[in-house]
Amino acid sequence: MKAKTFAILLVAAGLLAALALVRTGKDTGTTGPKMGEKLLADLPVNQVAEVAIADAENHTTLVKGESTWQVQERSGFPADFDQLRDTVVKLSRLKIGRSFPGDPDSLARLSLLPPSDPNASAGGTRITLKDASGKTLADLVLGQVRSKEDGSSGGQYLKKIDADAVYLVDASFRFLKTAPTEWLQKEILNIKADAVESVTCYADEGQKPVYTLARSEKGKDAQLTPIPKGRSADANRIDQVIEALAPLTVDDVQPADGPAAIASDLPKLVYHLFDGREIDICPATAGEESYTLRIAARETAMEETPSAVESTPEADESKEQKEEKAEKVQEPTPRSAKEINDALGPWVFSIKKWQYDSFVTKPESLLEEVKKEE
């Protein structure tokens, strides 16, 4: 073979090798995940003990406590675990669609600079995962979401904080929340209306009842007492009070100065449940945009339950009855008064105005409007 021919073949082989390298999706000279592979295949999900999320305006740190995940910026109030789990699992399953080297222009254009960058519009959302020892397991900047022609998501651009490569992955975090209030466990109570036996409101300085809503038995409508002569009760408003805890959600929290029992001089509604628990709700307002409440609970005499002798023996149940029982989803065990006090007593909760209005403290608000004679 002539030397000239050999040189031509050698150049052609080099070009083919370079083309093959581009097609494999390698954007740098280092070995790394390829197209179609998981970006964080080695992420030890079960070892994650801290998740920090930040953008140019907000920063939230979620830490794993002894029994629950907590929002550090809200003095350790429980975090929304379902939302957190979904986020971490989603990260662990990200697959690479394409990758390329990131230069200053492309990083700014795709919003892949750290959120602390002076150019706010070029900063992305940073998410950092650490284990219990403080070791970083993953540290990413989430950039712009790639939109398809029909407006749907075509993935998202991101990069590892300590690398130059930019990845387009198969999922997006368009709705990832960054503010501490957005990561709180919003539902604090969920007591169905049919579990409420009565509601007594104390609003006078002498803390005497100003009204009572009571049922004679389960399934009956709650009746208001007292009702002034010539007036009638507003059934819709009564239902609003009875249903106010099903569920009760909050916007924000702050630590209280002491247990809720110290607020005994404030207006309060006492929800007496058929199972013997009593829930005190103490609503307060400090202006048109500030509505808060405190919560306390206690146990009273429990309702009697049928004995084992009175219940239908399992042997006498038909096949259909057994199958129906097996299919029923078991309701979670109600929290005891102590559990409610431990979880909710140390906090002041911020709520929306419509929720505050559901805890009626003025009897007049539970009466039908007087029809004026023409």
pLDDT tens, position by position, 78-126: 999 999 999 999 999 999 999 999 999 999 999 999 999 888 788 999 9
- 118 with 234, same domain: the answer is no
Q: How many CA atoms lie within 13 A of 338 on its CB side?
A: 0
- CB 282, CB 266: distance < 8 Å: yes
pLDDT for the residue numbered 304: 46
Do 54 and 105 fall into the same domain?
yes
Domain ends where: 162, 183, 204? 183
- Domain shared by 206 and 114, yes or no: no
List, in order, residues 6 or more apart from 270 with CB less than 8 Å away.
199, 200, 201, 202, 278, 279, 280, 281
Give yes or no: residues 90 and 122 share one domain. yes
The model's pLDDT over 57-67, given as tens digits with 9 standing for 90+, comes to 999 999 999 99
In the listed set 183, 202, 218, which residue is the last one of a domain according to the structure?
183
Report the number of distinct structural domains present in the chain. 2
Residues 94 and 210 occupy one common structural domain: no
Residue 315 binned pLDDT confidence (cut-offs 50, 70, 90) = very low
Of the residues 132, 156, 183, the one at which a domain ends: 183
Say if 312 falls within a structural domain. no
| Same domain flag for 154 and 70 | yes
79 and 136 share one domain: yes
- What is the C-alpha separation between 159 and 146, in angstroms, rounded? 14
Three-state DSSP string of the chain: CCHHHHHHHHHHHHHHHHHHHHHCCCCCCCCCCCCCCECCCCCCHHHCCEEEEECCCCEEEEEECCCCEEEHHHCCEEECHHHHHHHHHHHHCCEEEEEEECCHHHHHHCCCECCCCCCHHHECEEEEEECCCCCEEEEEEEEEEEECCCCCEEEEEEEECCCCEEEEECCCCCCCCCCHHHHECCEEECCCHHHEEEEEEECCCCCCEEEEEECCCCCCCCEEECCCCCCCECHHHHHHHHCCCCCEECCEEEECCCCHHHHCCCCEEEEEECCCEEEEEEEEECCCCCEEEEEEEEECCCCCCCCCCCCCCHHHCCHHHHHHHHHCCCCCCCCCHHHHHHHHCCEEEECCHHHHHHCCCCHHHHECCCCCCC
Average confidence (pLDDT) over 174-183? 96
**Does a structural domain hold residue 149?**
yes
CA angle (303, 309, 310) in 5-degree steps? 55
Q: Same structural domain for residues 169 and 273?
A: no
More confident residue, 103 or 263: 103
Q: Is residue 57 part of a domain?
A: yes
**Same-domain pairing of 193 and 176:** no
Residue 15 lies in a domain: no
Statement to judge: residues 62 and 98 lie in one domain: yes
User: Mean of the pLDDT values across residues 15-35?
Assistant: 51
Residue 316, in any domain of the structure: no
pLDDT (0 to 100) of residue 306: 39
Query: pLDDT grade, residue 262 (50/70/90)?
Result: very low
pLDDT band of residue 258 (cuts 50, 70, 90) is low
pLDDT value of position 325: 52
Q: Are both 213 and 256 inside the same structural domain?
A: yes
Q: What pLDDT is recorded for position 20?
A: 47
| Residue 35 pLDDT > 90 | no
Considering the chain, what percentage of its residues have pLDDT values greater than 90? 70
Residue 1 lies in a domain: no
**Residue 202 maps to a domain:** yes
Confidence of residue 323 (pLDDT cuts 50, 70, 90): low
**Residue 218 belongs to what domain range?**
187-304+335-366
Do 255 and 141 belong to one domain? no
**pTM of the predicted model, to two decimals?**
0.80
Tell me, yes or no, whether 9 lies in a domain: no
Model pLDDT, residue 261: 52
